Amino acid sequence: MGNTMTQTAAALSTDAKTAIADALNQSVAETAVTTMLAQNFHWNVKGMAFGPLHDLFQKIYEDHFIGQDDLAERVRALDVHAEGTLAGMLKRSKVSEHDGHATDQEMIRIMMNAQETLAATLAGTGALAADHGDTLTEDLCIARGQTHEKFAWFLRSHLAG
Ligand SMILES: [Fe+2]
């Protein structure tokens, strides 16, 4: 804690690696649950905006599929076990599953909230990594957080007016 020197994974203490990886595993979990949520909405969305929403939800799950892999592989670079079960992910995630029965507007709002939750989780994980001098994890968290805020903006723009 409080070490302002930049550290590589190999130089981090076991306690630091455990703390950072635990936060990263929450990010993995929320990204994976949101991947499923986006597929769910991609399949089940209805209404006049079907085409663009079907496509937007696909863009989101394609991005998140890569994102969850990058985050989980960073956990492994820290030499900690990556969360790899759906049950474990649901337990760790602040984003919840949905039964997929919702209007297009409700889906947009639910997905926007999921993106904002993810942005907050990744900002927090990045700050924790920075606290330990782990700038390489911090960088990944910043990039992922920016992507989630971009998707939150895309979704929010559908609700304006
Ligand atoms: Fe599809």
> What residue segments make up the domains of the chain, in order of their start?
13-80+99-159
pTM (2 d.p.): 0.95
- Å from CA of 145 to ligand 1 middle: 25
- Å from CA of 46 to ligand 1 middle: 14
- One-letter identity of residue 1: M
Q: 13-80+99-159 domain in CATH 1.20.1260.10? A: yes
Contact criterion met (CB below 8 Å) for 72 and 30: no
Question: Each residue of 42-53: pLDDT tens digit?
Answer: 999 999 999 999
Question: Each residue of 68-120: pLDDT tens digit?
Answer: 999 999 999 999 999 999 999 999 999 999 999 999 999 999 999 999 999 99
Contact criterion met (CB below 8 Å) for 93 and 33: yes
CA pair distance 134, 21, nearest whole angstrom: 11
- Å from CA of 57 to ligand 1 middle: 9
Contact criterion met (CB below 8 Å) for 14 and 30: no
pLDDT, mean of residues 129-140? 97
